[in-house]
Amino acid sequence: MLDSSAQHILTLSCPNRPGIVAAVATCLFKHGCNILDAQQFDSTETGQFFARIVFDRIGDPARYDALRADFSRVAEDFSFRWLMRARAQKKRVMIMVSKSDHCLVDLVYRWRIGELDMEPVGIISNHPRETYEHIDLDGIPFHYLPVTRETKMEQEADVWKLIRDTQADVAVLARYMQVLSDGLAAKLAGRCINIHHSFLPGFKGAKPYHQAHARGVKLIGATAHYVTSDLDEGPIIEQDVEPISHRDTPDDLVRKGRDIERRVLARALRKHLEDRVLLDGKKTIVFAD
């Protein structure tokens, strides 16, 4: 069995041109690395190349520093946007939630049993701790930050300070029912995941299940996407659907939707934690498990 603690993950994207794979493989080989898994994609639409490579560690920290220095030169030659990190390095996650707690409960549970390999650094809510007194948050720091239309900018300043102070790598909007300002969305670009209780791009905004019921749809779904300044328009990471019938009421749709939301958000977060999601303009490249 391979020791995952000795593995590293390399992700990169750049304008497509001949020689990229050869240059990367040659650099890794030169420094004694063994490639364990490699996935790549050429986007004919955008002319971009994307790759995710898992390789084993070479052991000597000094040699690893030399690898990074040498790879930086390769990256400059090919205009890479790249990340290289130890696979065992857990990403720090800030969870944001409002009154509906099903996604919060699910994420905490999956973290507790080891399914989500992350380090939760805090929970931010615009509802008081008593709202969640029935939930075992397992010692995760809880921050009550109420918000009104008049205090939104001050509250978001506090949110941003917590994200910075905890060095959170990603923020997860686990049914956080506040629209982020353009400024905060920009600061969190590419590292803020939202779960929308609808199969986007249909039924955006408030009460999408009620909108779906009014239209008589036969499928409902949920969408996990990166947050942008355009409401519910960010690059999509993960989606799922479930059939419904004319017998289902709006409350039935909400109930069934909760199950979809939980699994879609968990899958999207896991893929982000494992560096499987790369941005391609308004779309994402998601490499398989």
Amino acid letter for position 285: I
The upper half-sphere exposure of residue 24, i.e. CA atoms within 13 Å in the direction of its Cβ, equals: 27
The C-alpha angle 188, 204, 255, rounded to 5 degrees, equals 100
Tell the burial category of 251 from Cβ atoms under 10 Å away from its Cβ (0-12, 13-18, 19+).
exposed
3-class SS at 135? Answer: coil
232 an active-site residue? yes
Which of 157, 205, 217, 145 lies closest to 181 in space, CA to CA?
157
Q: What are the two backbone dihedrals, phi and then psi, of residue 244, each rounded to the nearest 5 degrees? A: -135, 175
Amino acid letter for position 4: S
DSSP 144: E
110 C-beta neighbours (distance < 10 Å), count: 19
- What CA–CA distance (Å, rounded) separates 173 from 181? 14
Peptide bond preceding 18 in cis form (omega within 30 of 0): no
Joined together, the tokens standing for residue 206 give: 């408030």
Helical H runs in 16-115? 20-30, 61-78, 102-112
Q: What is the helix (H) or strand (E) element at residue 162, kind and residue range?
A: helix 152-165
3-class SS at 226? Answer: strand
Q: What are the two backbone dihedrals, phi and then psi, of residue 199, each rounded to the nearest 5 degrees? A: -90, 90
Of the candidates 101, 106, 169, 232, the residue annotated as catalytic is 232
Active site residues: 232
